[in-house]
């Protein structure tokens, strides 16, 4: 079995990482801005980033369903391997749920999503102020949950690379292989 992910899977992983790295702070910053053209632009860019994450995650799920990821080093305790799997599953759930709640929230707030300013997404919900507010809270809470899980995800990868000195991180960054 391969010791690292395929270059396709690696590319998608880092693309999503980069997109989330941009979308998260934009989302945090734009919400508290006073209304201005910049605010409207940031909202649109944030939504485009979210839709892109969603589309790539669909491809990643298809990849996972049709490929076996490289095994973790045997030196890792079974419970830790299970924890890693569980964390990955949760991250996949959030990478779906966060864009979807953002999309629904946009519809409920009466501002449809037009991907890249070109492709209008359908509104699954009608305009509803209370529902929009609720979805905003859910969207934000899921994001903070994702942030916490990502801190664990990154910390675990770094711990394996720098403390245990195994090839866990090299599965996603083959040039680090020891």
Partner 1 sequence: MKTFNRYLFAAILLAASSAHALEFSEVQAAKSSMVFGYKQMNVPLSGKFAKFAIQAHFDPSRPGAAQAKIDIDLSSIDTGNSDADEEVLGKLWFNTKLYPTGQFVSSTIKALGGDRYEATGKLSIKGKSLDVSAPFTFKQDGAYAIFDGSFKMNRLDYGLGEGLWADIATVANEVSITFHFVASSKK
Query: Which string of x and - marks every residue 46-85 that binds partner 1 (by CB under 8 A)?
Result: ----------------------------------------
CB 130 to partner 1: min, Å: 12
**Residue 137 touching partner 1 (CB under 8 A):** no
CA distance 83 to 68: 18
Query: CB-wise, 22 or 58, nearer to partner 1?
Result: 22
Query: CB-wise, 109 or 161, nearer to partner 1?
Result: 109
Query: CB-wise, 101 or 107, nearer to partner 1?
Result: 107
Among 5, 70, 104, 113, binds partner 1 (CB under 8 A): 113
Contacts to partner 1 from residues 154-173, by CB under 8 A: none
How many chain residues touch partner 1 (CB under 8 A)? Answer: 17
Among 41, 75, 137, 141, binds partner 1 (CB under 8 A): 41
Using CB atoms within 10 Å of the CB of residue 139, give its burial: 0 to 12 exposed, 13 to 18 middle, 19+ buried.
buried
Among 114, 125, 142, 150, binds partner 1 (CB under 8 A): 114
Please provide residue 118's backbone torsions phi and psi, each rounded to the nearest 5 degrees. Answer: -120, -40
3-state secondary structure labels for all residues of the chain = CCCCCCHHHHHHHHHHHHHHHHHHHHHHHHHCCCCCHHHHHHHHHHHHHHHHHHHHHHHHHHHHHHCCCCCCCCCCCHHHHHHHHHHHHHHHHHHHHHHHHHHHHHHHCCCCCEECCCEECCCCCCCCHHHHHHHHHHHHHHHHHHHHHHHHHHHHHHHHHHCCCCCCHHHCCHHHCC
Query: CB-wise, 117 or 178, nearer to partner 1?
Result: 117
**Residue 125 touching partner 1 (CB under 8 A):** no
Query: CB-wise, 7 or 36, nearer to partner 1?
Result: 36
Instruction: List residues binding partner 1 (CB under 8 A).
Output: 35-37, 40-41, 43-44, 109-114, 117-118, 120, 129
């Amino acid at each position: 079995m391969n010791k690292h992910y395929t270059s396709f899977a690696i590319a998608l992983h880092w693309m999503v990482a980069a997109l989330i790295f941009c979308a998260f702070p934009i989302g945090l910053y734009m919400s508290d801005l006073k209304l201005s053209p910049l605010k409207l632009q940031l909202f649109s860019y944030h939504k485009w980033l979210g839709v892109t994450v969603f589309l790539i995650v669909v491809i990643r799920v298809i990849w996972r369903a049709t490929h076996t990821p490289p095994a973790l080093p045997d030196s890792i305790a079974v419970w830790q391997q299970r924890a890693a799997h569980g964390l990955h599953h949760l991250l996949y759930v959030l990478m779906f749920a966060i864009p979807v709640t953002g999309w629904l929230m946009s519809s409920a707030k009466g501002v449809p999503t037009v991907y890249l300013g070109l492709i209008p997404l359908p509104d699954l919900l009608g305009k509803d102020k209370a529902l929009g507010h609720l979805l905003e809270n859910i969207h934000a809470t899921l994001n903070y949950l994702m942030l916490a899980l990502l801190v664990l995800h990154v910390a675990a990868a770094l711990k394996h690379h720098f403390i245990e000195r195994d090839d866990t991180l090299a599965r996603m960054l083959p040039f680090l292989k020891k």
